[in-house]
């Protein structure tokens, strides 16, 4: 059993055990990957204020996200193709999140369906939707999520047009993977992954195939996805979606203060400051740099979460201290899933929780809800005015 001390340890195992096309799918950004890199490197520019001689007994990382009690202010982000990182990956990640006491968000483009995850978990999970043209399919997605008793709807608003990710093109990414001499050789060296895939029937997009009109095979799915996203999306359309859902609605993909204000107008309950992990507009600002101006714009009128770049409990601490109510982690839990399945997701959450708890203590704080800018040393200009 390898010794796991941090998320990077899981990442190294994940790279060895998962086929290259799926590793590259997770570990990449669009175009030059500038935004992908700066999402993590900008966290390193924020320093923690060490405090001493403070009573550190009875510490708590417990909080709430959209009215839900959580063991720490973290949710698992929606990640497409999670079931290709590990057989039945969405089910395994959802189970780990449920046991740990944090929300799991199922992607529309998951391998395991809404019904699969609901049948294999006990507590409600969050469901993520893209803004698609097909109203009939969208309404049925909403109805299926309601039937599964999903506790929140996450609407991704930054993917009308997909950013180009060079690695996916070079690898011929697909689900199930295309069988070429290169992909066959690669998968043959990932024995544990291959055995898992042989043992499951879930190998394509469970929420789409057999549900979207005219989509009943991988080939037709490819044609469908290239035409499905709604290029005409506007705020009226988002407002319409809000009316379809009677529970909490979270808008994911906010990176501008004006857009944060508009999210208030359409009745969102929370927003996620996110640049899609650097996978959409390359050259966009990192999420942690965008956070302060968005908080200035909306104050406490709406719950603000942060996504993109979180790789440690210290990153969670910094984001919450900067003013975020909570964080979404994507790649960090995918590393654990690809490395060790459900146990790996649990390990990723344990690592992040321990780092958050220990760092919070060394900053002189006993309660995660008391974190604030007083816990940070922020360089001048980090979140200042831009020309």
Catalytic residues: 276
- Looking at residue 153, the DSSP 8-state letter turns out to be E
d(CA 274, CA 306): 6
Rg, the chain, Cα only: 20
Supply the DSSP string of 219-239, one letter for each residue.
HHHHHHHHHHB-TT--HHHHH
Closest by CA position to 247, among listed 126, 132, 134: 126
Closest by CA position to 203, among listed 88, 331, 92: 88
Residues 6+ apart with CB under 8 A from 345: 76, 92, 93, 96, 97, 333, 336, 337
Take residue 339 and report the two structure tokens written for it.
């490395």
Q: How far is CA 327 from CA 262, 316, 323, 340, in A?
A: 21, 6, 11, 23
> Of all helices (H) and strands (E), which one includes residue 136?
helix 135-147
Alpha helices in 256-330 (DSSP H): 257-265, 287-298, 313-322
In the block, which residue shows the tokens 């978990």?
A: 121
Closest by CA position to 27, among listed 343, 347, 353, 339: 339
> Of all helices (H) and strands (E), which one includes residue 24?
helix 20-26
CB 213 within 8 A of CB 137: yes
Judging by beta carbons within 10 Å of its beta carbon (0-12, 13-18, 19+), is residue 280 exposed, middle or buried? buried
Q: Coil, strand or helix: which one is 362?
A: helix
d(CA 224, CA 227): 5
């Amino acid at each position: 059993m390898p010794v796991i001390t941090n998320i990077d340890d899981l990442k190294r195992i994940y790279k060895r055990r998962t086929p290259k096309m799926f590793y590259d799918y997770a570990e990449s950004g669009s175009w030059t990957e500038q935004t992908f890199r700066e999402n993590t490197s900008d966290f390193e520019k924020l320093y923690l204020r060490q405090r001493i001689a403070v009573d550190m007994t009875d510490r708590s990382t417990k909080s709430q996200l959209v009215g839900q009690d959580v063991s720490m202010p973290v949710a698992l982000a929606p990640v497409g193709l999670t079931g290709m990182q590990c057989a039945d990956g969405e089910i395994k990640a959802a189970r780990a999140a449920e046991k740990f006491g944090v929300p799991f968000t199922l992607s529309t483009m998951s391998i395991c369906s809404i019904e699969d995850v609901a049948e294999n978990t006990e507590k409600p999970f969050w469901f993520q939707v893209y803004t698609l043209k097909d109203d009939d399919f969208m309404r049925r997605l909403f109805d299926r999520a309601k039937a599964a008793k999903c506790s929140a709807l996450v609407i991704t608003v930054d993917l009308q047009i997909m950013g180009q990710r060079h690695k996916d093109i070079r690898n011929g990414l697909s689900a199930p993977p295309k069988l070429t001499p290169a992909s066959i050789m690669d998968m043959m060296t990932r024995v544990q992954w291959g055995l898992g895939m042989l043992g499951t029937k879930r190998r394509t997009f469970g929420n789409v195939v057999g549900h979207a009109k005219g989509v009943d095979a991988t080939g037709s799915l490819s044609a469908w996805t290239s035409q499905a996203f709604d290029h005409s999306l506007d705020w009226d359309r988002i407002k319409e979606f809000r009316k379809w859902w009677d529970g909490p609605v979270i808008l994911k993909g906010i990176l501008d203060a004006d857009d944060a204000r508009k999210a208030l107008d359409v009745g969102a309950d929370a927003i996620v400051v996110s640049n899609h992990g650097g996978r959409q507009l390359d050259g966009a600002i990192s999420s942690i740099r965008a956070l302060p101006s968005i908080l200035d714009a909306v104050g406490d009128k709406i719950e603000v979460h942060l996504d993109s770049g979180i790789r440690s409990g210290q990153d969670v601490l910094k984001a919450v201290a900067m003013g975020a109510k909570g964080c979404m982690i994507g790649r960090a839990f995918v590393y654990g899933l690809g490395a060790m399945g459900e146990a790996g997701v649990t390990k990723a959450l344990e690592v992040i929780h321990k780092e958050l708890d220990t760092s919070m203590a060394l900053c002189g704080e006993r309660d995660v809800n008391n974190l604030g800018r007083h816990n940070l040393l922020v360089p001048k200009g980090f979140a200042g005015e831009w020309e």
